[in-house]
Structure 1
Amino acid sequence: MHNNNQKNTGSIPGEDLYRAMNNLRKSLGTLVVDLLITDLQRQGITFAGGESYSVRQIEGALQKTFGQDGGELLMDMVSKSLQEL
């Protein structure tokens, strides 16, 4: 169980992050989400059981690919998706 303040504190389990990413398929499309997942994996975010990541780690990885504004926008989408799990 996660609190709604997860964006600012704590860590996000890899399995939850993967589920949240998959929930974005409706809004971003399957191809885009597959590319996002592949890119995050390439940067060391494995979505593996037992692994957890900070918001800063995830947002930093997204910003490497999409720039500061794009990374922040995508992280906001991921955070909202996490809250819906």
Structure 2
Amino acid sequence: MEALDASNKKASEELSRLIEEKKRREQEWPPEPPKWLKVVGGIGWICIGFRVIEWLQDVDWEKKSREEEEEEDEDKDEEEEEEDEEDDEED
């Protein structure tokens, strides 16, 4: 029975120590950055990454819009050629 009491006491001491440590961390300012942030290389690299992604998306949109314009121009050219051929046949 005494062994149980000793282990319970040890567990409660550990728990209270962890609770105190958590409270101390919450009161620190600025807060400690998450561990994954160190792996990534910092907040600056994340911002740069988002900017690069945004830039790539913009470039992709510009490329798509240019391709669509070229397709529309080709369609118009084909329609004009067909109209010219029809006019030639009528004459």
Same fold by TM-score, threshold 0.5 exceeded?
no
Task: Identify which of structures 1 and 2 has the higher relative contact order when contacts are C-alpha pairs closer than 8 Å and 6+ apart.
Answer: 1
> Which of the pair is proportionally richer in strand?
1
Q: TM-score, normalised by structure 1?
A: 0.22
> Which of the pair is proportionally richer in helix?
2
Q: TM-score, normalised by structure 2?
A: 0.21
